[in-house]
């Protein structure tokens, strides 16, 4: 699973600002990377039905033990609700001991510029 393509659970209104969130996770071990991969499908299904979710993608580099995410949301509150519910909440808690490094970034972006490029995600997480 190198990259899950940009998925659009809900179409954002045109010409509006959206809340973009990006993350980079590096696991301590290859075993941690495999655990991350094993738990990805449940969180991915949750995104598909998440209120306020306008899009998401995941780039996995399991042999480098690195995972990148980017998502777009109606608001920071919609993202927070997602993060603290469903499969995401227990998955993130369960994987926290596997993480060596985590970085996060968020910003406002025009809905007409979705999806966000991986180049921009990498730049913002520098």
Q: Look at residue 2 and tell me whether its pLDDT is greater than 80.
A: no
62: which residues sit within 8 A by CB, 6+ positions away? 1, 30, 33, 34, 36, 37
Domain borders along the chain are 3-124
SS3 for 78-108 is HHHHHHCCCCHHHHHHHHHHHEEEEEEEEEE
Q: Look at residue 105 and tell me whether its pLDDT is greater than 70.
A: yes
Q: Look at residue 49 and tell me whether its pLDDT is greater than 90.
A: yes
pLDDT category at 1 given cuts 50, 70, 90 is: low
**Reported pTM:** 0.94
Q: Domain spanning 3-124: which CATH class is it, in words?
A: alpha beta
Q: Look at residue 66 and tell me whether its pLDDT is greater than 90.
A: yes
> Across residues 80-91, what is the average pLDDT?
95
The pLDDT assigned to 12 comes to 96
């Amino acid at each position: 699973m190198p990259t899950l393509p940009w998925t659009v659970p809900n179409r954002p209104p045109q010409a509006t600002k959206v809340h973009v969130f990006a993350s980079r996770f590096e696991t301590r071990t290859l075993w941690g990377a495999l655990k991350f991969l094993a738990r990805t499908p449940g969180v991915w299904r949750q995104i598909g039905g998440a209120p306020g979710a306008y899009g998401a993608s995941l780039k996995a580099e399991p042999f480098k033990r690195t995972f990148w995410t980017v998502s777009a949301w109606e608001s920071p509150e919609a993202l927070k609700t997602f993060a603290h519910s469903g499969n995401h909440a227990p998955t993130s808690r369960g994987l926290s001991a596997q993480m060596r490094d985590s970085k996060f970034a968020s910003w406002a972006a025009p809905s007409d510029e979705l999806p966000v490029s991986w180049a921009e995600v990498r730049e913002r997480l520098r």
